[in-house]
Structure 1
């Protein structure tokens, strides 16, 4: 038993040393800090925040960071009501939200929102007009778009989603969405739904697109990171993290880390565009 305990301690020490050597400069401000940081809201943010939190907590075990989803609306409301310390949002808070809650939004990334279908679906290019018809429920069969003679299953996000907000505004041009659409709660849930439905269509953060779903070009432009960076792909939004009042303590240190060269590298490795 003692042998296994010693081995576990050695693994932890090696892990801490490797983290400290690779990230020492960026993580130095967290040395000697203690406390808990509660974060919730937009789900697109989670891969970046989770990776940053892991590095911070490994370097300093006296810091605890908890991360939850819920959507942008939940993040804004909960941080405004002091339930959490940081509320993630895939859209900039409105002037009313900022005034009501005394919010301070910090932008650290830019993300695109791409239309996705099942990898077995041959329809991988649509016009804005076709996309509007699908989500409005006026185009009901994949056959009308060059696919199989099967009904189109629409997947949507709930009203609190920042991903949905930018998709509805910039992808659908604020057109109608059918009440028959299936509603899912996160980018991860959307990917799972589309991956398991050969006739489904939905939308996810470009940073979440992988082999489990097939990206759909919109008006001849693919939802890729390069196209988002160049501005060719217009369905894009900022990634914000909000505090109630000016950020301080661990929240301020986390924001500084996300804007450091090391933090920006994490943002880009997770499929987003970093912001200075």
Structure 2
């Protein structure tokens, strides 16, 4: 009889440790509740939305509230502590880091150069691409294409994609845009319907409405970004005001999820490359 009582007691104690037997679960995931605010890059919208869905499964009571107003605006919001996480599709400047903003690289993205599908040019060198955007090459016939003026499309000042694109080509403050648009999707749509146009977008939003250009003979793809052969690539940063360890448990939970196997699968699923892998 004593042995039976002892066994029941042990089972009862184990149940307490597991937050109940046969009842609802009070796992560590359930303990994380509240909201985490994000603000920044429109290029990261697809990734952030997928991340939000994944976190909802892991932490049912944790909600991500995201705004997509551009990398610069997101980083300013982090610096002023009006948002928890600033999404930036470029590296942080020294000046931004001096404000106490921590650069947390969560993924690597390629910047695809795109043309209207009627364009016959399929490959450019980095030098040719730079000359297109600085107005030194203005007609597709000079690149082996049709006799048609090049319509140069880009992002607005303050865009992380624009900043990274110009920096990678060494053409900062030199570009001559026919039109500057404030969203990745808008660039994609404009190039899709404008004959002779060229633009640049995040690799993960590429679709069959436009034609991606090879750069120095290399296709923009997850594989070529990962192996380093595709030159136009940049980090996706989720910046915080101070180190991750100094943030709220809700914000730390977001980064814990990103670094988990499930989080890494989401990065790959949306066409990005996991850092250092």
2:225 maps to what in 1?
Answer: 228
CA distance in 1, matches of 2:236, 2:62: 24
Does residue 151 (structure 1) correspond to residue 153 (structure 2)? The answer is: no
- Aligned partners of 2:102 and 2:126: how far apart in 1? 34
Single out whichever of 174-183 and 249-258 deviates more from structure 2: 174-183
1:23 aligns with none
Counterparts of 1:174-193 in structure 2, within 5 Å, are: 174=171, 177-193=174-190
Gaps of 5+ in 1: 1-27
The correspondence for 1:197, drawn from 188, 194, 198, is 194
* CA RMSD between the two structures: 1.8
Q: CA deviation at 1:194?
A: 1.0
Q: Does 1:93 align with 2:95?
A: no
State the secondary structure of the residue aligned to 1:49. helix
Q: What residue in structure 2 maps to residue 213 of structure 1?
A: 210
Greater Cα shift, 40-49 or 172-181? 172-181
How many Å separate the matches in 1 of 2:54 and 2:177? 43
Q: 1:180 to 1:270 in 2, by over 3 A?
A: closer
For the pair 1:38 / 2:55, whether they are aligned, the reply is no
Which residue in 2 is equivalent to 1:17? none
The 2-side partners of 1:144 and 1:237 are apart by: 29
Contact 1:136 1:175 in 2 (8 A): no
* Residue of 96, 102, 105 corresponding to 1:104: 102
Q: CA deviation at 1:47?
A: 1.4
The aligned counterpart of 2:48 is: 49
Structure 1 residue runs of 4 or more that deviate by more than 6 Å after TM superposition: none
- Structure-1 separation of matches of 2:85 and 2:160: 16
1:267 corresponding residue in structure 2: 267
Q: Which runs of 5 or more residues in structure 2 are unaligned?
A: 1-26
- Rg (Cα) greater in structure: 2
Task: For 2:103 and 2:137, locate their aligned partners in 1 and report how far apart those are by CA, in whole Å.
Answer: 39
| Cα drift, residue 29 of structure 1 | 4.5
Q: Secondary structure at the match of 1:66?
A: strand
CA distance in 2, matches of 1:205, 1:180: 18
Q: CA deviation at 1:265?
A: 0.5
Task: Give, in whole Å, the separation in 1 of the partners of 2:112 and 2:55.
Answer: 31
Q: Could you tell me the TM-score, scaled by structure 1's length?
A: 0.83
Contact persistence 2:38–2:65 (CA under 8 A): yes
Query: Structure 1 244/128 Cα, relative in aligned 2: closer, same or farther at 3 Å?
Result: same
2:12 equivalent in structure 1: none
SS state at 2:43 partner = coil
* Aligned mates of 2:209, 2:50 — CA distance in 1: 22
**Structure 1's 177 and 197: CA in aligned 2 closer, same or farther, altered over 3 A?**
farther
Task: Say if 1:88 and 1:235 are closer, same or farther in 2 by CA, change over 3 A.
Answer: same
Deviation at 1:40, TM superposition (A): 1.2
Q: TM-score of the superposition, structure 2-length normalised?
A: 0.83
* Shift, 1:92, TM fit: 2.2
